[in-house]
Amino acid sequence: MSTEFFQCGRYRFARNRRPLVMGILNVTPDSFSDGGQHAGRDAALRHAEQMIAEGVDIIDIGGESSRPGSAALPLDQELARVMPIVEALAACGKPLSIDTYKPEVMRAALAGGADLINDIWGFRMPGAVEAVSGAAAGQAGLCVMHMQRDPQTMQEDPQYADVVAEVEEFLRERVSTLRAAGVDDTRISLDPGFGFGKTPDHNLRLLGQMPRLAVDGLPILAGLSRKSTLGAILGGRPPQQRVAASLAAAVCAAERGAFIVRVHDVEQTVDAIKTWWAIRHESVAGTGQSGE
């Protein structure tokens, strides 16, 4: 393990405690599973309050859908969607993550109280590395995700010679770039990008060999909740009927070393992860997680 803790903005999480549960808060009308349910400010805040009551560790706020085939959202619209939520939740007592690839949104969110930048593009957009490595970024956590091509085309026959090796190589290169820009290892987490330019078999191979993807022991974030790979396993069930499969995937990811699981169903996942952790360690100690 390269670091004893994960620095997430104002919060510091010990790496020797149970994995963190990141709750998804989509303020979008078109996300694949819950699009439109929390698009308004009041509905989004109610959902955030519910997740906090359910034991969420991190709240991940997204203003632009990244489902396969989705179109890019103009900057002003994304800011209008996410910034009122960031500002309203800044003092909620939980770290706030922003799911964005736009440097302008990164800067605004960090200034508004966000603690983590979750970037599906792996900080490859011009200006993204600068936005998260300068003094204004402070100790914000970063999540580097792998994606083949872009959301519009990523699921059009994705191909790899060796998906695990190629994702590992990509993550290693991005970590090197962030380090060169002065970002400390304690701030970096890695996401294999399940469903982002991968077939179901690619995703299952990545999950099965996840320990290989923990570059230099950095923490892994796994986002499998309700995704189409689970639907394929279940014979085509829609997203809302993939809860049990999502829980199984979250526990499997934790068993293979994931430190953060990104989910829709917070209460059920917290219960599952706590139970897995207690069984694994033959003790109830350490089933809680709180940032310093």
What span, in angstroms and rounded, lies between the C-alpha atoms of 56 and 82? 19
* Residues constituting the chain: 292
> Which of 24, 20, 22 lies closest to 264 in space, CA to CA?
24
Residue from 79, 85, 70 nearest 100 by CA: 79
| Cα–Cα distance, 187 to 88 (Å, whole number) | 24
Alpha carbon 76 to its chain's center? 23
Find the helix or strand (DSSP H, E) in which 99 lies.
strand 96-99
CA pair distance 66, 205, nearest whole angstrom: 22
CA angle 150, 208, 145 (to 5 degrees): 30
Task: List residues with catalytic annotation.
Answer: 227, 262
